[in-house]
Amino acid sequence: MMKRVRIAAMADVHYGKELTDSLQSVYREVSTKADVLLVCGDLTNHGLPEEAAVALQDLRAATIPVIAVLGNHDFESGREAEVRAVLEGGGIKVLDGDTCELAGVGFAGVKGFCGGFGRRTLEPWGEKMMKMFVQETVTETVKLESALARLRMKNRIVVLHYAPIQATVEGEAPEIFPFLGSSRLEDPINRHGCAAVFHGHAHRGAPEGKTQSGIPVYNVSVSLLRASYPNTPPYRLLELEADESEEAGAKS
């Protein structure tokens, strides 16, 4: 038997130490229209636990499960473990090479990293620092591959901060494309036949694109969604059919 699962997603909410732009009304609306909310990184401005507490205060308006990954801003102060602890202490599931199976859908999440796209992808050649830079992307890609391989659900959703394809960063200055994502992240997505990918980070990118195998990729940065769809709240809503037999198996 099949049932519909509604997935809402947004990114780059950038909470500071003070609550200046509450999204509580958005979270309340999302809770009436979706079964799960994805937050694709940059929950904070400077990666401080105090900022994470403000984000959590606002996110408590959501009455559905919330799944998140951290973004580059959440790493800014070197206190990402504390940021994660605050969020998870409030009931948010933070993925970092981890998985979550919910309502007949499997979710795999990592932050991702930079490196560029297609033939312009950076290679681990030359100085040690360049090799370390590329290795960070490789490490994130391996974490994503491992997470996707562990999921039992046929419908797999990927949650990232950095983009896995160039199409959803176009609109940004081409000079910064290498810092907005990496094609390396696309490889495991195509291999595992995912249902969809959500990411943020590219505030002036494009709302959607597809991987080389045709998997839809959605850029759900709040500022981008507000600019692209000014008459609707800043989140993306996707409906999938979930196999209830798989959901039952995951709970057994």
- The mean per-residue pLDDT over the stretch 91-100 comes to 96
- Poorest-pLDDT segment among 86-100, 120-134, 154-168, 216-230: 120-134
Confidence of residue 245 (pLDDT cuts 50, 70, 90): low
- The mean per-residue pLDDT over the stretch 19-30 comes to 93
pLDDT number for residue 248: 44
Other beta carbons less than 10 A from residue 192's beta carbon:
18
Give the list of residues 6+ apart from residue 173 with CB closer than 8 angstroms, or none: none
Q: pLDDT digit string (tens) for 128-169?
A: 988 999 999 999 999 999 999 999 888 999 999 999 999 999
Give CA separation, 249 vs 1, 102, 119, 246, in Å. 13, 11, 42, 5
Q: Which CATH superfamily is domain 2-245 in?
A: Metallo-dependent phosphatases (3.60.21.10)
| The pLDDT of residue 250 is above 70 | no
Give the list of residues 6+ apart from residue 233 with CB closer than 8 angstroms, or none: 26, 29, 30
Give the list of residues 6+ apart from residue 155 with CB closer than 8 angstroms, or none: 5, 104, 105, 106, 195, 240, 241, 242, 243
| The pLDDT of residue 199 is above 70 | yes
Q: Cα torsion at 142, 148, 149, 155 (round to 10°)? A: -160
Query: 116, 96, 98, 114: which is closest to 106 by C-alpha?
Result: 98
DSSP E strand boundaries for the chain? 2-10, 36-40, 66-69, 93-94, 98-102, 105-109, 156-159, 196-199, 208-210, 216-219, 236-243
Give CA separation, 156 vs 126, 188, 206, 217, 238, in Å. 37, 12, 23, 13, 13
C-alpha distance across the termini of the chain, in Å: 17
Confidence of residue 2 (pLDDT cuts 50, 70, 90): low
pLDDT number for residue 251: 42
Q: pLDDT digit string (tens) for 114-133?
A: 999 998 888 888 899 889 99
Whether 210 contacts 201, CB under 8 Å:
no
Phi/psi at 141 (nearest 5 deg)?
Answer: -65, -40
Q: Which residues pair with 4 in a beta bridge?
A: 241
pLDDT number for residue 104: 87
- The mean per-residue pLDDT over the stretch 81-85 comes to 98
- Poorest-pLDDT segment among 55-59, 69-73, 102-106: 102-106
- The mean per-residue pLDDT over the stretch 196-206 comes to 97
- Poorest-pLDDT segment among 40-44, 160-164, 223-227, 246-250: 246-250
- Distance (Å, whole) CA 26 – CA 11: 13
pLDDT number for residue 229: 96
Q: What amino acid occupies position 223?
A: S
| The pLDDT of residue 249 is above 60 | no
pTM, two decimals, is: 0.94
- The mean per-residue pLDDT over the stretch 172-181 comes to 96
pLDDT number for residue 1: 52
